[in-house]
Amino acid sequence: MSTQLKVDVRGLSCPEPVIRVKKAIEANPGEPLTVLCDSFVSAENIRRLSGSLGYNCETTENNDEFVLTITKKV
């Protein structure tokens, strides 16, 4: 049983959230990743990054917080 990797970038300013997510993707290639984020701009940048690396990114928003679920494109 594997646990899904989570990265919490709430409270961080760009480019730090993108850097942390990129490192997590590179350290765990192909593994699903959940990102907790509290900035629309950071969420957009993470979505762009994940797409450029060949990943899908689904986003849900709840009270100014974003949960991004990143999975490898098949």
What does the pLDDT look like over 44-67, one tens digit per residue? Answer: 999 999 999 999 999 999 888 999
What does the pLDDT look like over 3-47, one tens digit per residue? Answer: 689 999 999 998 999 999 999 999 999 999 999 999 999 999 999
> What pTM did the predictor assign?
0.91
3-state secondary structure of 64: coil
Please tell me the CATH code under which domain 5-72 is placed: 3.30.110.40
**How far is Cα 74 from Cα 64, in angstroms, rounded to an integer?**
30
**How far is Cα 18 from Cα 20, in angstroms, rounded to an integer?**
6
